[in-house]
Structure formats: C-alpha cells, structure tokens
Amino acid sequence: MSPNSGTKFIFVTGGVVSSLGKGIASASIGVLLKARGLKVTMLKFDPYINVDPGTLSPYQHGEVFVTEDGAETDLDLGHYERFIDVNMSKRNNATTGQIYYTVITKERRGDYLGNTVQVIPHITDEIKSRILDAAHKNGDDYDVVITEVGGTVGDIESLPFLEAIRQFCLEAGWQNYVNVHLTLVPYIRASGELKTKPTQHSVMKLREIGIQPDILLCRAEGHLGKELREKIGLFCNVPPTSVIEAPDVETIYEIPLIFEEGGLGNLLVERLGLRNTSHPLSVAASQPADLDDWRNLVTRLKNPRHTVDIAICGKYVGLKDSYKSIVEAFVHAGVANNAKVRLHWVDSEDVEKNGIPDKLKQVHGLLVCPGFGSRGVEGKISAIQYAREHGLPFLGICLGLQCAVIEFARHVCKIPKANSTEFDEQTPDPVIDKMETQVNVQQMGGTMRLGGYKCQLKAGTYTHKAYGKETIVERHRHRWEVNNRYVAPLERNGLIISGHNPETGLVEIMELENHPWFVGVQFHPELKSRALRAHPLFREFVRAALNYSEVKH
C-alpha cells in the first residue's frame, strides 16, 4: 500500500507545552469524520525509547491501556476507543523503542547488507510503514488515518517522527493529508490579554522542520475573537477560518461539538478534497454530520437527575491518570443511569496505616483498583472487608478481585494466613498464586496474560444479568490468579464463581450471595467502556450504588 492508495491521512502535533489534550483533540476529529460516514482509525507515535509503557510506573506515564490483541499501549488509545468506538490494536501505537528495535533486528538479519543504517532513510521509512500499516488492519481498509505525535514540537525525541511525516506528506500529495497543530494561547492575567506569541513560535519551529500546519487548534481560556484569529492566521500562514478555538469545557465529550460548531469538520472535508468531487469518499463526506447521540450525551452529562458517591481505593491515587479508563467508565455509567457519579479517592496505604476513613462510611459504593506489588494491599483488603460486612456495593478489578478472595478466605473461611504469592512467597495458603504459564517467565515487558480472553458466565448471577449473554470476551493484564485448589472451600462458604475461562478453567469473576452487589473480576472492564455505550458492569454497579443511596437515606 502506498500513500496514494485512496486513504486520507491527518497528522496531529502539539506545541508550547505538553498536556494540551492532543489525544482528546485527535479523538474528536475522529468523531467528526465518523459522523460523516467515513471509516476512521487512529495511530499514536510515542517518542520514548521504552518498547511500550508496560514496565513504566503509572506515576511516570499514567495507565497502561491494553488492546484486544494484547498490546500494552499509551492511555490516549483509550480516548480513541471511547470516542470513535473502534477497537485499537498493536498497529495503533508505535514508540521510538519499537521503531529502532525493528530496524536493528532487520540489520542483524542482514536485510541492509552493504548499507550504512541511518535515521534517514531507514528509521523514517519504518515510521512511514507504520502509518500505512494502520490504514490496512485485519483486512480492513480505512478511509482516514489520524496520527497523533506525542511530545512537543522542538523536542529532540520527536524529530524522526516529524521528518517521516514531512516525507510522507510530500509523497502522498496535497489533498491526501492534513496537518493539524494544537497550540496554546495563554491568558496573562496581569495585563488581561490573550497572547499569540507562543503559538507563533510553535508554528515557526514546525515550519523549520518542514511542516506547514493547515489547521490550528488553539487552547485558550477565553474566546479568541476575529482580531486574534486574523493575527494568528497572518503570522502562522493559515487563513483565519483555519484557526479553531479549543476552549476549556465542563466535559471532554463536548469537544467534538465545539469543533463542529467552529467549522473543523467542514474544513477537513474541504482540505481533503472530499466536497462535491468524483472521489469515492465524497458521497459520505458531503453528508451533514450526525452528532445527535453526542448532543444527547452532553445534555445528560450536564443535567443529571441523581447523584451518587463512590470511593475508589488504590495505591496510585496521587495521579488520577493512573486510573483514566476507570474514571471515564464511571462517566459513561452515570449517563446510563441519569446520574452524576462523584468519585472520592482513598489511598490504600492510608487505610493500612490509619484504618477505615470516614469518607468510606459516607459513600454508596466502593471500587478497588488494579495494581502490582504489596504496597497498600492490606489497606485494600480492609476496605473490602468493610464493604462486605456493611452491605456496601463493591466492584473489584484484577488485584481488587484477588484482594476480595484473600479477605473472604481469611475472615469467612477462617484461613487466617491466606495470601497471594505476589506478596508472600512463603504463605502456607496461597489462595492467589502465579499462573502456571508465568512461573518461568524471566522478561518483564509484554509477558503477562494480556488482551481479550473468553469468559463463561453462570446463569442467574449479577454478571450474567448485567451482560445478558452466556459468553463474553474481556481484556486482561496480570500474572497471578485465583488458585483453583481453594475454589471448593471458598464456594462452600458462600463465594460464587460466576465466570470462568472455558479453555483454562481460570476464575474470571466472583460474587457474594446475600449482598446488595458484590462483584470481583480478574479482567479490566473499564477498557471496553465507550462514551455512547457504558460497560454493563459499571452500569449495574452504579445502579446498585443508587439503590443503596436511596435505602441509606
């Protein structure tokens, strides 16, 4: 496949400072194009040398988003999936580490015999090939590929990606690509002015690299106004109509609507040559954008009928992006229940040191987060014991399930030393143990049980009612599991194994009888929640919390 295969390409870069929201902006562009009937996929380039974020601390990089095919990827892929409702894969995220690893492997194999291997053309060619691979995935040809470049223009790490994009655009032809640059127009409070100079310098740096932005998305606290748009356009060499406001909003799900009102969707269609032409995509692209579902979503978000309070107990609560997909899954579940979900963060280490906090006694539900390592685990177990004994609706994810099993084994089954071999290798009662396939694994990166696996549901259980079907596929990221040797005594004491893997027999879901709603899952349901389609378990958990709040009050 070549850049001239009929697929259109959009490249999103960022300048001035990081954390402007390139991922949200890219996903919102995807929404606008999908709303016009185009088939859209997305790609994220990350300039770090790690092969993937799987071995990075959540405090360094936020959550690791796991795709259906088991790739450990950047959290922005979660935004892509939530917004455009298309499953990403290992083809949709590439790091500098992956690019260099591939090129070095080819060199060792002898693919470049006789040649000096260099950044240009070998690294840039590999980057360009990743863009084309994303356009043709699993037998699907996409109409548009949106590529986000991580980092900030001017960073040395991102230069090979930007050079590859420069070459790609030259080869693709004028109406086959669009360069979108997200930048900052800061408000200087002392002078009461929005300042355009940072945007001018960011675009200047991008043009020095050889890329002229076609559209500018300008983050600003206030409206730019006609005069500022004209000034930015003049100094950045774009028409004022191509300067689009990207203001702060109440909810990120407003961004597609804001962009559409600013004319971004029509700009993209025009720039890509899809307006009233003979191009096969023009019929779809010329249709008005169907954003009714998004308008309804935003209306429900801003006007909830109910409010519910849920505690999130984890060990990385100092950085909320560590649990980004969980936070967004609660937004979606709130909309599905016509409720605003207020999240209360509980540090599991604090629970371990100081006991059950007052906030846990005031909420209507408890979610215990995934994680690795022994730090804060006893705090999670104590919080789960409180939820079990006080009838507080509970959802445990991955480590949350494992802690729930340990708690139940200790306090209900009377196995006081029950533990996980992750936390105590010498425990006499390893109710949680390392998976057999993980015992001899030496490498840390990319070796866990990753990606989508089947789960058979037990009829009549909470989870079976939530999903409404017998078999599901959910995404995993773990090395430890419920030890099947302890399933019999657990079940005898009232623990219900409501889901298991049909191939391996591994426990996937546990529930408790005689409790308003108590569910633990080995997988990560938050990874499959969508803006317009809440995940069944989060939806039903929030519903149970709402019921609990009515009884409590």
Write out the catalytic residue numbers. Answer: 398, 524, 526
Backbone angles phi, psi at 175, to 5 degrees: -95, 15
Cβ atoms < 10 Å from Cβ of 101:
14
DSSP H or E run through 406: helix 399-411
* Strand 449-457, strand 495-500: pairing: antiparallel
Token pair recorded at residue 389: 């004994």
* 168 close to 211: Cβ distance less than 8 angstroms: no
Concatenated DSSP letters of 345-373:
EEEHHHHHHH-S-HHHHH-SEEEE----S
Query: Is the preceding peptide bond at 58 cis, omega within 30 degrees of 0?
Result: no
Cβ atoms < 10 Å from Cβ of 385:
18
Residue 41: burial class (beta carbons within 10 Å; 0-12, 13-18, 19+): buried
What residue type is 324 in one-letter code? K
**CA 518 to CA 455: how far, in whole Å?**
18
Token pair recorded at residue 503: 């191939």
* Among 524, 515, 517, 510, residue whose Cα is nearest residue 543: 517
Backbone angles phi, psi at 496, to 5 degrees: -110, 125
**CA 459 to CA 465: how far, in whole Å?**
8
- CA 484 distance to own-chain centroid: 32
218 DSSP β-pair partners:
183, 245
* Among 358, 383, 354, residue whose Cα is nearest residue 369: 383
